[in-house]
Amino acid sequence: ESTEKTWGITKPISSAPPTPAESHATALLLEELRRQNTFETASEIKKREKVVNDLQRIADEFVRKVARAKEPHNEVLIRDARGEVFTYGSYCLGVYGPGSDIDTLVTAPRYVTRDDYFKYFPDLLTEMAPPGAITNLTAVEDAFVPIIKFEYWGISIDLIFSRIATLTQFPPHKQLELTSNEHLRGLDDRELRSLNGTRVTKEILNLVPEQSTFRTALRAIKLWAQRRAIYANIIGFPGGVVWAMMVARVCQLYPKATSATIVGKFFLVMKGWPWPIPVQLKHMEDGPLNVRVWNPKIYKSDSFHLMPVITPAYPQMCATFNITKSTKTIIQRELERGVELTDKILGSERPWKDLFVKHTFFTQDHKYYLAVIATSTTKEAHKIWSGFVESKVRILVGELERHSSIALARPFNKGFERQHLTKTDQQAAEVQSGSLAYVTEDEDNSDDATVTKAENGTDGNADSSDQKVTAENTTQPRRTYTTTHYIGLELAEGSKSLDLSYQVNAFKQLCSEWEKYSAEFNSLSVQHVKNINLPEDVFEPGETKPARPLKKPT
């Protein structure tokens, strides 16, 4: 029909409403998602709403405080001073679960700066929230996206900030239209990045035909991607926003379909997607900034993106630049598995739970692994160092996939964090090169509200007085922190030797050249690990560890 609404950049593939069988499949899907504990209880949902309301109250007080400090005689400005809190991420999309954080953006009028935010907000939080509600507060002022992190009644909060430089006063009783590009004027890069998450999330929600259908389908896809270990932006897989955009595109193509159908079509459409044609939810648009928008015809680097998925908010960018040849191959395999399974599930031959079966990365998939081990001597130093190394794992993956003996290098989507207690330098050296002989319990997370500031460019070691070990062979046990990333290898047909020293050394060099690297606190090691030697803690109870094959009788 010619009256069909266009969602996104093409006409729908089908605007058929669901059949009774499809609706039934959605009911079964919801049942399974509940069984898998992806929803929160009503009281936990209330608690989150209360937290967001409190943050709004605190944000208003924050803006008033800055108004009083900067314009002490401007009574009207002070009286009407207010900020506005937005959410983004899974909370905003409505696909959060019990373990999710709340991603929150504080916006304020033009006279409120990022400096003010870091100067006043942490203290206001602890003053205005109920006593004891705020714990583990950390402010990272010099980050790519400057952030205050904390827990509020045990819920993790990511709190970021941007001014709205076009406004000296927010309109009363009216929500800001953050999707308007005009509000981007006059901001620096960090402020633009901080606004971006909310703008993208809001656009995604605006661009899907039916939000509740989208949410349920996205919940299913997120659970599937997590179980299959292909969910991790930093490591080189799609993250939450990318999965959301892919599902949203499928919703646009089947605007009347029910969630179960969307999940099935998701696998079909994405498996057959003609990459590198991008997934995009709307046409590219021009805006008021002098910034680049994704365009492979103009920018050579954009033409290297293997599976481009473009964000819908100006300035539109590719959210999947991290994907490598190997991770793309893995994603394709998982999409194929998804097609086969959903075909049977929607035909009532199998239950939904089969789609969400855990990956076999450690139990079956590889014979050879690389372990990338980041080590630090203090907890604070380790936070910074392990985060950096994690962000570079995909660079090593890229180097490995160019090796002639390697067909595929698959990074596991999460690092394994361990703590070790050693008594001698020899033992400490063993830990650095991957020994798990000295693994110890996580030191007690002290439950008092500690305030950590890691804001200057150097590192967070300055006040770690308890770690100044100078004696050569002290018997005082020393605590060491490690994060290990495993990369599963698939060897090329007929390859015999596997000398990776060039790739490994280049990677170590790259990491140690980082300006915040400290030879005193940090180290990095890359080790070969055979499947039969994988440590116990990468397996879950009930999983079968790979075993040495039985000797063939001769």
Q: Give whichever of 84 and 158 is closer to Mn ion, judged by the CB atom.
A: 158
Residues in region 97-126 near Mn ion by CB under 5 A = 101, 103
Task: State phi, psi for 318 to the nearest 5 degrees.
Answer: -85, 120
- 188 in active site: no
**Active-site pick, 96, 120, 231, 486:** 231
Q: Of 90, 213, 322, 461, which one interacts with ligand 3AT (CB under 6 A)?
A: 90
- 152 in active site: no
**Active-site pick, 54, 103, 116, 459:** 103
Q: Give whichever of 103 and 203 is closer to Mn ion, judged by the CB atom.
A: 103
Task: State phi, psi for 140 to the nearest 5 degrees.
Answer: -120, 95
Residues in region 140-169 near ligand 3AT by CB under 6 A = 145
- 444 in active site: no
Strand order in the sheet with 147-152: 84-88, 102-109, 155-164, 147-152, 134-140, 451-453
Question: What is the distance between the alpha carbons of residues 286 and 292, in angstroms, rounded to a whole number?
Answer: 10
DSSP codes, 216-249: HHHHHHHHHHHHTT---TTTTS--HHHHHHHHHH
Question: What is the distance between the alpha carbons of residues 301 and 315, in angstroms, rounded to a whole number?
Answer: 17
Question: What is the distance between the alpha carbons of residues 236 and 329, in angstroms, rounded to a whole number?
Answer: 12
Question: What is the distance between the alpha carbons of residues 229 and 223, in angstroms, rounded to a whole number?
Answer: 10
- 435 in active site: no
222 is in an annotated binding site: yes
490 binding partner (options ligand 3AT, Mn ion, none; Cβ < 5 to 8 Å by kind): none
**Binding footprint of Mn ion, residue count (CB under 5 A):** 5
What 8-state DSSP symbol labels residue 318? B
Task: State phi, psi for 105 to the nearest 5 degrees.
Answer: -120, 130
Task: Return the closest-CA partner of residue 409 out of 449, 368, 381.
Answer: 368
The answer, yes or no, to whether the previous bond of 276 is cis (omega within 30 of 0) is yes
The terminus-to-terminus CA distance of the chain in angstroms comes to 72
Q: Any contact of residue 452 with ligand 3AT (CB under 6 A)? A: no
Question: What is the distance between the alpha carbons of residues 248 and 251, in angstroms, rounded to a whole number?
Answer: 5
Residues in region 186-205 near ligand 3AT by CB under 6 A = 197
448 is in an annotated binding site: no
Question: What is the distance between the alpha carbons of residues 269 and 18, in angstroms, rounded to a whole number?
Answer: 18
- 180 in active site: no
What 8-state DSSP symbol labels residue 74? -
18 binding partner (options ligand 3AT, Mn ion, none; Cβ < 5 to 8 Å by kind): none
Q: Any contact of residue 89 with ligand 3AT (CB under 6 A)? A: yes
Q: Of 89, 255, 264, 312, which one interacts with Mn ion (CB under 5 A)?
A: 89
* Residue window 47-86: x/- pattern of binding to ligand 3AT, with contact defined by CB under 6 A: ----------------------------------------
Q: Give whichever of 90 and 320 is closer to ligand 3AT, judged by the CB atom.
A: 90
Q: Any contact of residue 237 with ligand 3AT (CB under 6 A)? A: no
- Tell me the residue type at 257: A
Residues in region 238-277 near ligand 3AT by CB under 6 A = 240-241
Q: Of 7, 86, 96, 120, which one interacts with ligand 3AT (CB under 6 A)?
A: 96
**Active-site pick, 96, 117, 120, 222:** 222
Task: Return the closest-CA partner of residue 538 out of 294, 365, 316.
Answer: 365
Indicate the burial class of 402 (C-beta count within 10 angstroms; 0-12, 13-18, 19 or more): exposed
* Residue window 152-171: x/- pattern of binding to Mn ion, with contact defined by CB under 5 A: ------x-------------
Q: Give whichever of 143 and 491 is closer to Mn ion, judged by the CB atom.
A: 143
Start-end of H helices in 129-210: 189-207
Q: Give whichever of 233 and 342 is closer to ligand 3AT, judged by the CB atom.
A: 233
63 is in an annotated binding site: no
- 231 in active site: yes
Residues in region 126-145 near ligand 3AT by CB under 6 A = 145
List residues near Mn ion by CB under 5 A.
89-90, 101, 103, 158
List residues near ligand 3AT by CB under 6 A.
88-90, 96, 100-101, 103, 145, 197, 234, 240-241
List residues forming the annotated binding site for ATP. 101-103, 158, 222, 231, 240-241
Q: Which residues are catalytic?
A: 90, 101, 103, 158, 222, 231
List residues forming the annotated binding site. 101-103, 158, 222, 231, 240-241
